Structure 1
Amino acid sequence: MSSRRKFLQQGTLLTGGALLASAFAQNGFAYFRNNIMPSDQVRIGAIGINGMGWSNVTAALKVPGVVLAAICDIDQSVISKRQTDLQKMGIDPNTVRVYNDYRKLLDQKDIDAVIIGTPDHWHALQMIHACEAGKDVYVEKPVGNSIVECNAMVAAQQKYGKIVQAGQWQRSQQHFTDAVNFVHSGQLGNVRTVKVWCYLDWKQPLDHKPDSAVPAGVDYKQWLGPAQNRPFNINRFHFTFRWFWDYAGGLMTDWGVHLLDYALMGMKADTPKSIATLGGKFAKPDSADETPDTLMALYEFDKFNIVWDHALGIGNGSYNRDHGIAFIGNAGTLVLNRNGWEVIEEKKNEPRVAIPFQKSTDNGLNKHWENFISVVRSRKAEQLNCSIQEAAKIARLSQMGNIAYRTNQKLFWNTQQGKFTDNNINQKYLAAQYHNGYKLPII
Structure 2
Amino acid sequence: MNNSRRHFIRSASTLVAGAGLVTSLPASLRAIAPSDKINVAAIGINGMGWADLNAILKNPVAQCVALCDVDKNVLDKKAAELAEKGQKVKTYADYRKLLENKDIDAVIIGTPDHWHCLQMTDAVSAGKDVYVEKPIGNSIAEINAMVAAQERTGRVVQVGQWQRSQQHFKDAISFVHSGKLGQVRLVKAWAYMGWMKSIPKQPDGNPPAGVDYKAWLGPAETRPFNPNRFHFNFRWYWDYAGGLMTDWGVHLLDYALLGMKAQHPTTIMAAGGKFAYPDDAAETPDTLTTVYQFEGFNLQWEHAIGIDGGPYGRDHGIAFIGNNGTLVLNRGGWEVIPEKGKMEAVPLQKSVDKGLDLHAVNFLDVIKSRKLADLNTPVQAGAHVARVAQLGNIAYKTGKKLNWNGVKEQFDDGEANNYLAAAYHNGYKLPK
Measured against the shorter chain, the TM-score band is: over 0.9
Corresponding residue of 1:150: 143
In structure 2, how many angstroms separate the alpha carbons of the residues matched to 1:59 and 1:47? 15
List 4+ stretches of structure 1 deviating above 6 A. Answer: none
Q: Post-superposition shift, 1:63?
A: 1.3
- DSSP 3-state at the match of 2:220: coil
CA pair 10-431 structure 1, distance change in 2 beyond 3 A? farther
Q: Post-superposition shift, 1:391?
A: 0.2
Query: Identity rate of aligned residues, in percent?
Result: 60
CA pair 198-314 structure 1, distance change in 2 beyond 3 A? same
Corresponding residue of 1:5: 6
The equivalent position to 1:159 in structure 2, one of 152, 156, 164, is 152
Q: Post-superposition shift, 1:18?
A: 4.1
Instruction: Verify: 1:21 aligned to 2:23, yes or no.
Output: yes
Q: Post-superposition shift, 1:79?
A: 1.1
The equivalent position to 2:56 in structure 1, one of 53, 60, 63, is 60
Contact 1:48 1:117 in 2 (8 A): yes
Q: TM-score, normalised by structure 2?
A: 0.97
Instruction: Verify: 1:226 aligned to 2:219, yes or no.
Output: yes
Corresponding residue of 2:361: 370
Corresponding residue of 1:214: 207
Instruction: Verify: 1:109 aligned to 2:102, yes or no.
Output: yes
Q: Deviations over 1:357-397 (max 9, x none)?
A: 00000000000000000000100000000000000000000
- DSSP 3-state at the match of 1:429: coil
- Mapping 1:61-210, distance limit 5 Å: 61-88=57-84, 90-92=85-87, 95-210=88-203
The equivalent position to 1:39 in structure 2, one of 35, 55, 61, is 35
- Mapping 1:303-322, distance limit 5 Å: 303-322=296-315
In structure 2, how many angstroms separate the alpha carbons of the residues matched to 1:16 and 1:43? 25
Gaps spanning 5+ residues in structure 2: where? none
CA pair 32-22 structure 1, distance change in 2 beyond 3 A? closer
Contact 1:275 1:401 in 2 (8 A): yes
Contact 1:188 1:353 in 2 (8 A): no
CA pair 292-16 structure 1, distance change in 2 beyond 3 A? farther
Instruction: Verify: 1:410 aligned to 2:401, yes or no.
Output: yes
In structure 2, how many angstroms separate the alpha carbons of the residues matched to 1:240 and 1:97? 28
The equivalent position to 1:436 in structure 2, one of 422, 426, 431, is 426
**Which amino acid in 2 is paired with 1:430?**
L
**Which amino acid in 1 is paired with 2:56?**
A
Q: Post-superposition shift, 1:5?
A: 2.8
Q: Post-superposition shift, 1:10?
A: 4.2
- DSSP 3-state at the match of 2:8: helix
Q: Post-superposition shift, 1:424?
A: 3.3
Instruction: Verify: 1:258 aligned to 2:251, yes or no.
Output: yes
CA root-mean-square deviation: 1.6
- Higher alpha-carbon deviation: 76-85 or 112-121: 76-85
Q: Post-superposition shift, 1:421?
A: 1.9
In structure 2, how many angstroms separate the alpha carbons of the residues matched to 1:235 and 1:103? 27
In structure 2, how many angstroms separate the alpha carbons of the residues matched to 1:159 and 1:177? 30
In structure 2, how many angstroms separate the alpha carbons of the residues matched to 1:185 and 1:152? 36
In structure 2, how many angstroms separate the alpha carbons of the residues matched to 1:209 and 1:361? 42
Q: Post-superposition shift, 1:16?
A: 6.1
In structure 2, how many angstroms separate the alpha carbons of the residues matched to 1:393 and 1:296? 20
Q: Deviations over 1:6-65 (max 9, x none)?
A: 1354453579634452689xxx9xx977x3123321001100000000001100101121
In structure 2, how many angstroms separate the alpha carbons of the residues matched to 1:393 and 1:110? 32
CA pair 246-15 structure 1, distance change in 2 beyond 3 A? farther
In structure 2, how many angstroms separate the alpha carbons of the residues matched to 1:32 and 1:234? 47
Q: Deviations over 1:305-346 (max 9, x none)?
A: 000000000000000000000000111100000000000111
Q: Deviations over 1:265-313 (max 9, x none)?
A: 0000011000001100000111111000000000001100000000000
Contact 1:131 1:137 in 2 (8 A): yes
- DSSP 3-state at the match of 2:146: helix
Contact 1:74 1:222 in 2 (8 A): yes
In structure 2, how many angstroms separate the alpha carbons of the residues matched to 1:15 and 1:260? 35
Q: Post-superposition shift, 1:441?
A: 1.5
Contact 1:74 1:220 in 2 (8 A): yes
In structure 2, how many angstroms separate the alpha carbons of the residues matched to 1:239 and 1:251? 13
Contact 2:193 2:308 in 1 (8 A): yes
In structure 2, how many angstroms separate the alpha carbons of the residues matched to 1:382 and 1:178? 20
Corresponding residue of 1:401: 392
Contact 2:107 2:123 in 1 (8 A): yes
In structure 2, how many angstroms separate the alpha carbons of the residues matched to 1:117 and 1:83? 16
Contact 2:270 2:396 in 1 (8 A): yes
**Which amino acid in 2 is paired with 1:111?**
I
Q: Post-superposition shift, 1:86?
A: 1.2
Instruction: Verify: 1:248 aligned to 2:238, yes or no.
Output: no
